[in-house]
Structure 1
Amino acid sequence: MPFVIAALLLVGALCALDLVLTLGVIKRLRDQGALLAELGSGTPALAVGEEVGAFTATTVDGVPIGRDDLNDDTLVAFFSPTCGPCRKKLPAFVAHARTLPGGRDAVLATVVGTPEAAAAFTEALAPVARVVVEEADGPVGAAFNATAYPTVLRVAPAADGRVLVTADQVDLGRVPQAAA
């Protein structure tokens, strides 16, 4: 009988230890998931030097826009209302866009989602950017091959007229310099 009691206590202690370790692993996995969500997918749509594809879309103001409307130096961003990192990056993007020479014409923001879901993003972006709302497979996203959110790029026309990505890691904390 004492042997059975000792074995039962040993099995109970092992089960309690296993439970504590399992809860620790679950907590670490949740922490890792939160860190990954903060980082976002991180891969920009197009790399520096790649050409932007042709597209036509309509802004929320009802103005048609296409690749040829991306002037000398344009800041381009893709946001999704369902993306946690997008909500965190939005205020910094708006503050950065507000300081750009050229105003709204120097910024194109695409919000990927339904107009209803994108309303808060559209309201925040409209004063500083030309805003397009489209589904995930929309023409602007396809032209930039954008599948990761948030994505912030800088584009400009090359000497031969092609519109190329000039920066795929835009520092939103840096105040842009006015063109000389």
Structure 2
Amino acid sequence: MSAPRVRSAPLLLRMRGGWPRAKHVIKHLYRPGERWDLLVPGLPTGLRERALAAGCSCLQRIQNGSDRPERLSSPCARLVQADHEAYYAPAYMHAAETSLAGQRDGVLGNGRRALVGDNGVLVIASDGSDGRPDRVLSAYRPILGHPETRTAEEIREAAFQLWSDKTALAGAPLPEDTEEP
């Protein structure tokens, strides 16, 4: 299966499979505070509970920031893969496409770029500087205080602001060293 082509941009490949993909699905799609339910049609309720029931015992560790690769149970791996294909990948690829149309694609440095889509998904991708095609590395939505009361528009605006802050900092010159009196 070939990766979708993003309009007006070099090929942007979907997130790498295996542990990197599983970690991001578990960390972001299954985190209620990111409110994927506001933008993904047909997203089942209780994603977190479904993952735990499927044996995704690493869910809390990953959502607390663990990057340690873990072996997933077969039911957990199948669920994570299915949810990536049905919900997460379409949302982040849509974000990448609309970010380019809206000129919201900026360099972060260290071989990375940031894009933010009309749907409020912030995508971090490789920039191709290593000679390989650009690839999605992560995709997430900002978490705002009291996420259960936030609207899709509030999350979208927060994502635009976060993208603006990240790309502005990446391009900003370092301040001159000055001696304190």
Q: Is TM (by shorter chain) over 0.5? A: no
Q: TM-score, normalised by structure 1?
A: 0.23
Structure number with higher relative contact order (C-alpha < 8 Å, ≥ 6 residues apart): 1
- Which structure's residues are more often strand, by fraction? 1
Bigger Rg, which one: 1
